[in-house]
Structure 1
Amino acid sequence: MSPRKIMTMKDEPCPVARGVDVVGDRWSLLIVRDAFDGMRRFGDFQRSLGVARNILSDRLRKLVDAGILATQAASDGSAYQEYVLTAKGESLFAVVLALRQWGERHLFAPGEHHSLLVDKQSGQPVPLMSPRDADGAELAPEATEVRKLA
C-alpha cells in the first residue's frame, strides 16, 4: 500500500486558495482568534477550544511552520513554551475581524447574546469593515474583477 499524498494548494495561482490552505480549517483560525485574545500556552488553547491534544499540537506546529505563530520561552520564566503571533500572524486581524462581523450579522438571531469586539480606547464597537475604492467610496463585489497574471 502506498502512502497517501497530502494535497496542498501551495502552487495554486489563487491567493484565496493558498490562504485557505494555511488557515482555512476550523482549529487554525480559532487558534489565531485566541492568540489575538492574548492566549499563549498550549493548555490555555486546549481549554478554550476543547480540541484533542494531538490535533492542537498539529495545528500549532503548522501555524509555526507557516510563520503565523512563533514559539518563545514562557514570559514568567517557567519551563513552558508560549506561542505568539508574528507580524505575518497579526496581519490576519482583518480576516478574523471580517469573519467575526459576518457571523454577527448573519448567524445570530436578533437580540441573541454574543461577544463584542470593542476599541480599547473608546470602548465603542469596532466599526463594520467595508472594502473601499481608491477614492474611499464603498466597493461592491460587482465593481471588482479578478485579473489573472501571467
Structure 2
Amino acid sequence: MKNKSLLDMPCPIAKSLEHVGEWWNILILREALLGVCRFDDFQSHLGIATSTLAKRLNAMVESGLLERRQYCEKPPRDEYVITQQGLDFRPVLLTIMQWGNKYYADGEPTIQLVDTHTNQAVDLMLVDRNTNMEIDPQRHRSQAGPAADELIKARFKR
C-alpha cells in the first residue's frame, strides 16, 4: 500500500521525510557515505532484496540524493554516486548514530565518530553558525519563516 505523499505539506521536516524517511533510504545513504556505489555492494552490505534496492535507488536518483553513472557498457552497469544533496545529509546521519549509541547500544558503541588528530570519540552538538552558540531550547525556538502560509503562521502565533 502506497503511503500518502508528504510533498504537499508546507513543513520542511515532512518534505524531507518524503525523500529520506523510508528506512532503506537512510541505510543506503549511510553506505554511500562510506564509499559504496555499486548495486551488488549495496545489496551485500544491506541484505536488501534486489527489487527493493532497485526501487529505492531509482527514487533516490529522482530525489537528487544519488546520481547514476554508467561504468560498464557491455553489459550496461551503473554505479550510484552520492550528490552534494546526499552529502549534506551526513550531519543528520551522524546525529542519528550518536542518538542510537546513547539509547540503543548494548554497552559500548559499535560505530562512533572520532577526531582523526586525537583519535578521541566526538560528542556532537548543534551550533548556530552565526553566533557559534550551542542550540539551547531556552534560547532558541522555531517560528514561521518567510515562505510560511497562513496555517503555519497561525500555528506559531500560539
Q: Which TM class, normalised by the smaller chain length?
A: 0.7 to 0.9
Unaligned stretches of 5+ residues in structure 2: 150-158
Once the 2 structures are TM-superposed, how far is the Cα of residue 26 of structure 1 from its aligned partner? 1.1
Greater strand share, structure number:
2
Counterpart in the other structure of 2:11: 14
Counterpart in the other structure of 1:136: 132
Once the 2 structures are TM-superposed, how far is the Cα of residue 29 of structure 1 from its aligned partner? 0.3
Alignment of 1:78-117 (within 5 A): 79-110=76-107, 112=108, 114-117=110-113
Once the 2 structures are TM-superposed, how far is the Cα of residue 146 of structure 1 from its aligned partner? 2.3
Unaligned stretches of 5+ residues in structure 1: none
Once the 2 structures are TM-superposed, how far is the Cα of residue 71 of structure 1 from its aligned partner? 0.7
Distance in 2 (alpha carbons) for counterparts of 1:91 and 1:45:
20
User: Compared with structure 1, are the counterparts of its residues 117 and 129 closer, same or farther at alpha carbon in structure 2 (3 Å cutoff)?
Assistant: closer
Distance in 2 (alpha carbons) for counterparts of 1:28 and 1:97:
15
Once the 2 structures are TM-superposed, how far is the Cα of residue 43 of structure 1 from its aligned partner? 0.6
* Structure 1 residue identity aligned to 2:113: L
Q: How many residues align?
A: 144
Distance in 2 (alpha carbons) for counterparts of 1:125 and 1:83:
32
SS in 2 for 1:144: coil
Counterpart in the other structure of 2:154: none
Q: Deviations over 1:44-90 (max 9, x none)?
A: 00111111111111100010000000011228x98421000011111
Counterpart in the other structure of 1:58: 55
Percent identity over the alignment?
31
User: Compared with structure 1, are the counterparts of its residues 141 and 39 closer, same or farther at alpha carbon in structure 2 (3 Å cutoff)?
Assistant: same
TM-align CA RMSD = 2.3
Distance in 2 (alpha carbons) for counterparts of 1:141 and 1:62:
35
SS in 1 for 2:119: coil
SS in 1 for 2:134: coil
SS in 2 for 1:83: strand
Q: Deviations over 1:21-55 (max 9, x none)?
A: 11011100000000001101111001111111111
38, 49, 58: which is aligned to 1:41? 38
65, 69, 72: which is aligned to 2:66? 69
TM-score (norm 2): 0.80
Distance in 1 (alpha carbons) for counterparts of 2:118 and 2:34:
16
